[in-house]
Amino acid sequence: MEELMRWVSIIYRYTRVHLNSRFQALDLGVTSSQHFFVRRICTNAGITQDKLQSLIELNKSNITRAVDALEKAGFVRKERSKRDKRTASLYPTEAAERIYPELVSEENAWIDTLLRDFTEEEKRLFEAMLRKAAHTAKKEAFEDDEK
């Protein structure tokens, strides 16, 4: 298990390289990091930044920076709440809706590539184990902050 972090890092790094390359080749106008936000906003139109933060599990400043960049690039539209001016709902623009199917297709193709040598049972087990490790990481990270 001493190599676990190495393998996680390799998968993350090559996933970013691959998706960035594909998105650039398709002239989609987003990076591998930004695509995750576009996907979540397209499937959750009207989501607030706070809810997006809990869905993506990044800190507020990263969410704000990413959303602002996507708004400037024309992929996200913010609507301020009439009741609470500090809250904004996020909506995909036509540009985001247009690239959404390509984002999903490229992500799914990459997942299929990564898991092509897995049986269906191994795929389910792998996802379940990753989810379990992610929940433990989240719990422990916040416990560390409290110490």
Boundaries of every domain in the chain: 4-100, 115-147
Residue 146's pLDDT band (cuts 50, 70, 90): low
Whole-number pLDDT of residue 30? 97
Task: Please write the tens of the pLDDT for every residue from 41-74.
Answer: 999 999 999 999 989 988 889 999 999 999 999 9
Q: How far apart are CA 110 and CA 127, in angstroms?
A: 15
Question: What is the reported pLDDT for 52?
Answer: 95
pLDDT band at 129, cuts 50/70/90?
Answer: very high
Kindly indicate whether the domain formed by 4-100 is annotated with CATH number 1.10.10.10: yes
